[in-house]
Structure 1
């Protein structure tokens, strides 16, 4: 089956108080449990928000250069991702919608190119 990436940029989350974020924990966990129970979950997780904790690796010059911080300065950056193993675009879009409902912010969904996902590690 094809694999799909469901993701959001941190800036799509919006400004909310702590109580609002707390209210999203259980609905988000419920969607992940549902994906796991239906056998479609490959991975789901959020990323650390502090960009100073990021690092970049670049070998385009022929020499590997690893630096602190993001590769490019940008106004948006990845906030979290989910990978699902589902039969078609319609199923992937349905799960993206469920994730968006659970989290409370928009999600984008894209199919991996055939053969591009070399290894799948299923976690618990």
Structure 2
């Protein structure tokens, strides 16, 4: 089995009404329930939209420093993510497609590197 990260940037969501978003919640939860039933769900969650609530930890100078806000000044930032543990890329694509359809915005997929020399 291989773990994949399925995620979206908040800016990909677009402008929608509260009613539209409320209609998407049950669709997204149904996909997560399907993932769990298939035994391929690892984790999923949306992030707080207020990027000002983020903080960064940096030890590249040799001293650990914490700063308020995101590490990089950028117009795009992570909005939410799902981790699946699946047999192959085709299955990861299938889940990403279901999430994209349920949420109504694009998803990007990245494979995790194997851990422990696997």
Provide the TM-score with structure 2 as the length reference. Answer: 0.96
Name the structure 2 match of 1:37: 37
CA distance in structure 2 between the partners assigned to 1:18 and 1:41 by the alignment: 27
CA distance in structure 2 between the partners assigned to 1:51 and 1:41 by the alignment: 27
Q: CA RMSD in A?
A: 0.8
Name the structure 1 match of 2:58: 58
Question: What stretches of structure 1 move > 6 A for 4+ residues in a row?
Answer: none
Runs of at least 5 residues in structure 1 that lack an aligned partner in the other structure: 117-124
Provide the TM-score with structure 1 as the length reference. Answer: 0.91
Correspondence list, 1:78-97, <5 A: 78-97=78-97
CA distance in structure 1 between the partners assigned to 2:37 and 2:3 by the alignment: 17
- 1:102 Cα deviation from its structure 2 partner: 1.0
Runs of at least 5 residues in structure 2 that lack an aligned partner in the other structure: none
Name the structure 1 match of 2:108: 108
Aligned length: 116
Which string of whole-angstrom CA distances, capped at 9 and with x for unpartnered residues, describes residues 60-100 of structure 1?
Answer: 11110011110011010000000000011111011000111
Q: Is residue 98 of structure 2 the alignment partner of residue 98 of structure 1? A: yes
Aligned partner of residue 30 in structure 1, secondary structure: helix
- 1:47 Cα deviation from its structure 2 partner: 0.1
Aligned partner of residue 45 in structure 2, secondary structure: strand
CA distance in structure 1 between the partners assigned to 2:45 and 2:51 by the alignment: 17
- 1:14 Cα deviation from its structure 2 partner: 0.4
- 1:115 Cα deviation from its structure 2 partner: 1.1
